A and B are shown apart, each in its own frame.
Chain A
Amino acid sequence: MQVKNEADITLTINGQERSFNVPVRRNLVDFLRHDVGLTGSHVGCESGICGACNVRVDGVVVRGCLMFAVQADGCQVDTIEGITESGEAAELQQAFLERNALQCGYCTPGMLMTSLELVQSGKAASREEIREELSGNFCRCTGYHAIVDAVEHVMERAKP
């Protein structure tokens, strides 16, 4: 049997349809970073624990390290660059800055991805529930307190 090491994929990245030939073993975050040049998503653990690589695939936030690039064939993939450009994360990003909800910033793109999904879900959440929602994103610098403040602030404002 012929082993196929590479595959052609076509996907929509941050709103633009693009085609690539990728090694089948390349995971989604490495593909985005090294083949597409979108270095905003980060690699922290490569085992699905830290959330630094969180990106949105077909509207759902996933671990970029736990998915192969070929699995994103035909999908809509959104990264931090995309949600910045579109402005949909603007309020959260401003809140992160105003509350100093980041230090080194390495976890921040993933943290924003998760936070945005929570904000956009439209559900109400207490501080404790916000903490639960963010518990798949590791931040080693802040005490999480300011991140919770920022998300809480934006959720308050998003209330109907």
Chain B
Amino acid sequence: MSSEVKVPTRVHSSPQNLVGRSVPRETARRLVSGRGRYLDDIHGGEVYHIAYYRSPFARAKFTLGDLTAAASSPGVYRIVTGAELAEVCSPWVTRLDMLPDHVSPPEYALAIDEVYWQGEPVVAVVAKTRAQAEDALDAIEIDWEDLEPVTDAKLALEPDSPLAHPALKSNLALERKLVRGDIDTAFKQAACVVEQDFSFGRQTGVTLEGRGVVARFDPRTEELVVHQSHQAPFQMQEIYAKQLSMPLSKVRVLCPDVGGAFGIKLHAYADEMAAVAIARLLAVPVKYQADRLESFVSDAHARDAQVTARLALDARGHVLGLAFEGLFSFGAVSLYPRGSVGEALQLLEMCGMAYKVPALQGRVRGAFLNKVPTGAYRAVGQPLGSAVMEQLLDKAAATLGIDRFEIRRMNYVVDADLVEDSDAKLRGLSLHQCLDAIQAEINYSQLKQRQEELRAKQVYRGIGLCTFVEQTGVGAWLYGRNGVAAASKESVRLELSASGEVLCHTSASESGQGVHTGLAQIIADTLGCPFDAICVRTGDTQSDPVGGGSWASRGLALGGEAARLAALDLRRTVLSVVAAWKSVDIDRLEIDHGVVSIKDGEVLCSLQQVARAVHYDSTVLPMSPPPSLSVERSFTPSKKPYFIANGIQAAEVEVDIETGQVKVLDFWVVEDCGTVVNPLLVDEQIRGGVVQGIGAALYENCVYDETGQMTNASLADYLVPMASEMPDIHVSHITTPEPETGLGAKGVGEAGTVGAIGAIWTAINDALSPLGVTAQTQPFTPDVILSAVLQQG
């Protein structure tokens, strides 16, 4: 920035109004130019590389043998064992205050004497290069005593089942019930009862960039600096300080560009904890970067549930009651620090939530198994809840001979039904508007007519529909209240610098969603500064204000509101300075495009001139002391636990009943996330979520054999959606601003995934309906489809 101060000469004729506009993400220019700086790109002197010897067994005891050959392997600096690491890193236990019965076994950075899943890190090799570290793994000698693993949730809960972990009293990790109204009477009085089993496969996030850390401990200053590919730097700062018994102030966590996260990079993993502990123990800089094979057996797994559900309706199609049971397959421990319970609890809370359900009885259970621990992955449990309800409604509509749109329309919850205080969060949904919009959008009658015509030619097309409601911008209700040290607010600190640039430090991190572009749009509009004068920084616990990070669709919903509040404060400060400086009544002043003027049009000064006066020459200001041009604001929902977004998705699929192949022909989303700050970014965010949902429904599955080995742990074997299998996805919006914030934005990061799974479930089963069969196992592989077709009577 040159030292020349810009002097404004004119007032812009119209305000910027950037909020709501498709502003491209200029900060991504770096990324398209190959100048991203991801974890493995961080340079800064020599580091040692870590490779882990990972357990080949799901459940075994072990004795470490001779490690000298490995230790003397070329390039090896040290071999580190679990016992050594336990000296500096205490074990951690997931505890949730509101779920005292949820007792997780303790977890160590490296296994000691026993292992509980295939892939658990056992011994660390620290070497000059990763290749040399991997070479040395072959020389490590360990005596294994293979034990019987627990691999099936149902069997795990039998009284005579072995335990997945010796610290457990039972494999039952979770049991929760939700009861509302009189369920027995509802089913007794029902004119129609439909019922179905649902199997949701085990998935993982497959972030294209694996997890990783670069950690340095400086014994001179006793400071630990950790670069990590993560979604929640403040959470990790807290965890490292606690586990390594260090003051919080001595731990700094930085997140560089993050190559995909989706909830997978929200947890504390043993391998990353071990790497950081090794940096502390050996006082040398280390890098650990998970490769793809390790990622499959260490990244959080998700979903994996068996659900049985029943719906009771009267003869006209009104829902009387919903009953469901879900059994979830967790891993060997409850993932730290947020636990593995979210998937099950969100099914319990969200299933049927979009509808008026007078009587409800839900029960979810989770079992500890000798598999990779499960945890948060995009949309957590909500897609299951939507899929179950939508599938049951379609079945009921078919049984009663009611139109599929009509049965939804007549049962949607409306504000008049929401009389309890606890229902307040659900007020103001736009379910009916979304339904009407999608019916028009997909041209339903025409689609249906074409479907009928093709059926006559033995071509089986299906139309899927999935209404969804979604928790976004989740507040302290979820983790804070449970005693989990994860910030639930998002914060923004704005500083007007002497250059006239507006520095925005925020806790609202991102991995490409475009949150920072959105924040800059909000700040530019609210403060009245040029968009390109704003510099957004994030991902550093030393310089950012405390906040959650990027999870639970919070960036714009919470971070955006914090940015708006901060910009309002900074605007007020600037105006008070100018009012005093220029002896003008503050109410007569305005700021636009970085120019402070009197409302009649007289230009007074630029933001830069204000900053220079305050920072460098306060003699011109009749103010003492000079005001601070740095303001910080936070936001978290207080009147409700989260902001509910809603919408509906539709899919058209073709099922080949000879080969079992499913082709997704077309896909539509109508979504209400309140104020849309940037449609360009929001729309592709939704599409990305949809594709992850389609992937879940059609391809993705962590396949385990009965010995607890994951048998498809490579990207060649675990199928993910690629461009050629995906359809174009049409996105449109209904806008119901969130009333709790001035911005009015709800979250949108998970919306695509919440509804897409159910849209594929209902589409496939609509396609199969002429055969009188139902497919009920996700992913809907050709095998699953053909098995369903063979059920034909």
Query: Which of B38, B680, B724, B729 makes the CB contact (< 8 A) with A106?
Result: B38
Q: Does A142 contact B (CB under 8 A)?
A: yes
Q: If A47-B292, A103-B514, A109-B34 touch, does A140 touch B724 (CB 8 Å cutoff)?
A: no
Q: If A102-B28, A103-B511, A108-B31 touch, does A42 touch B684 (CB 8 Å cutoff)?
A: no
Which residues of B are found within 8 Å of A42, using beta-carbon distances? 38, 208-209, 259
Please choose the segment from B585-593, B715-723, B781-789 that sits at the chain A interface, where 4 or more of its residues have CB less than 8 A away.
Answer: B715-723
Q: Which residue on A lies nearest to B32, using beta carbons?
A: A93
Chain B, interface size category, equals 35 or more
Task: Mark A11-51 against chain B: 1 for CB-CB distance below 8 A, else 0.
Answer: 00000000000010110000001000011111111110110
* Distance from B529 Cβ to chain A, minimum over Cβ atoms (Å): 23
A7 and B450 CA atoms in complex are apart in Å by 64
Which residues of A are found within 8 Å of B26, using beta-carbon distances? 97
Query: Which of B35, B511, B723 makes the CB contact (< 8 A) with A134?
Result: B723
A104:B259 contact, CB within 8 angstroms: yes
A43 and B31 CA atoms in complex are apart in Å by 15
A29 and B511 CA atoms in complex are apart in Å by 23
Which residues of A are found within 8 Å of B752, using beta-carbon distances? 143
B32:A131 contact, CB within 8 angstroms: no
Please choose the segment from A56-64, A66-74, A77-85 that sits at the chain B interface, where 4 or more of its residues have CB less than 8 A away.
Answer: A77-85
Q: Which residue on A lies nearest to B517, using beta carbons?
A: A100
A45:B512 contact, CB within 8 angstroms: no
A146 and B205 CA atoms in complex are apart in Å by 21
Q: Which residue on A lies nearest to B689, using beta carbons?
A: A143
Which residues of B are found within 8 Å of A106, using beta-carbon distances? 36, 38, 208-209, 259-260
B40:A141 contact, CB within 8 angstroms: no
Which residues of B are found within 8 Å of A141, using beta-carbon distances? 260, 511-512, 688
Q: Does B29 contact A (CB under 8 A)?
A: yes
Which residues of A are found within 8 Å of B36, using beta-carbon distances? 39-40, 105-106, 108
Q: Does A135 contact B (CB under 8 A)?
A: yes
A105:B684 contact, CB within 8 angstroms: no
A64 and B763 CA atoms in complex are apart in Å by 39
A91 and B207 CA atoms in complex are apart in Å by 28
* Distance from A143 Cβ to chain B, minimum over Cβ atoms (Å): 3
Query: Which of B681, B689, B714, B728 makes the CB contact (< 8 A) with A100?
Result: B681
Which residues of A are found within 8 Å of B209, using beta-carbon distances? 42, 44, 104, 106
Task: Mark A85-106 against chain B: 1 for CB-CB distance below 8 A, else 0.
Answer: 0000000010011111111111
A38 and B752 CA atoms in complex are apart in Å by 35
Q: Does A107 contact B (CB under 8 A)?
A: yes
Task: Mark B24-45 against chain A: 1 for CB-CB distance below 8 A, else 0.
Answer: 1110110111111110110000
B41:A39 contact, CB within 8 angstroms: yes
Scan residues 231-247 of chain B and give those whose CB is less than 8 A from a CB of chain A: none
Query: Which of A39, A46, A127, A142 makes the CB contact (< 8 A) with B687?
Result: A142
Q: Which residue on B lies nearest to A93, using beta carbons?
A: B32
Scan residues 130-160 of chain A and give those whose CB is less than 8 A from a CB of chain B: 130-132, 134-148
B34:A104 contact, CB within 8 angstroms: no
A138:B720 contact, CB within 8 angstroms: yes
Which residues of B are found within 8 Å of A148, using beta-carbon distances? 723, 728
Q: Does A52 contact B (CB under 8 A)?
A: yes
Q: Does B685 contact A (CB under 8 A)?
A: yes
* Distance from B683 Cβ to chain A, minimum over Cβ atoms (Å): 8
A104:B208 contact, CB within 8 angstroms: yes
Query: Which of B512, B681, B686, B692 makes the CB contact (< 8 A) with A105?
Result: B512
Q: If A135-B723, A143-B687, A147-B723 touch, does A23 touch B33 (CB 8 Å cutoff)?
A: no
Which residues of A are found within 8 Å of B33, using beta-carbon distances? 40, 80-81, 84, 93
Q: Does A112 contact B (CB under 8 A)?
A: yes
Q: Which residue on A lies nearest to B669, using beta carbons?
A: A143
Q: If A107-B208, A132-B724 touch, does A41 touch B257 (CB 8 Å cutoff)?
A: no
B512:A104 contact, CB within 8 angstroms: yes
Which residues of A are found within 8 Å of B141, using beta-carbon distances? none
A105:B715 contact, CB within 8 angstroms: no
Task: Mark B475-516 against chain A: 1 for CB-CB distance below 8 A, else 0.
Answer: 000000000000000000000000000000000000111100
- Closest A-B pairs by Cβ, 6 of them: A40-B34, A143-B687, A105-B31, A103-B512, A80-B34, A106-B259
Which residue numbers of B lie inside 8 Å of A, CB to CB? 24-26, 28-29, 31-38, 40-41, 131, 205-209, 257-262, 291-292, 511-514, 680-681, 683-692, 714-716, 720, 722-726, 728-729, 752
Contact sample, A vs B, 17 pairs, CB 8 Å cutoff: A39-B38, A42-B208, A47-B292, A97-B24, A97-B26, A100-B25, A100-B684, A104-B511, A105-B28, A105-B36, A136-B722, A138-B722, A140-B206, A141-B511, A142-B684, A144-B691, A144-B722
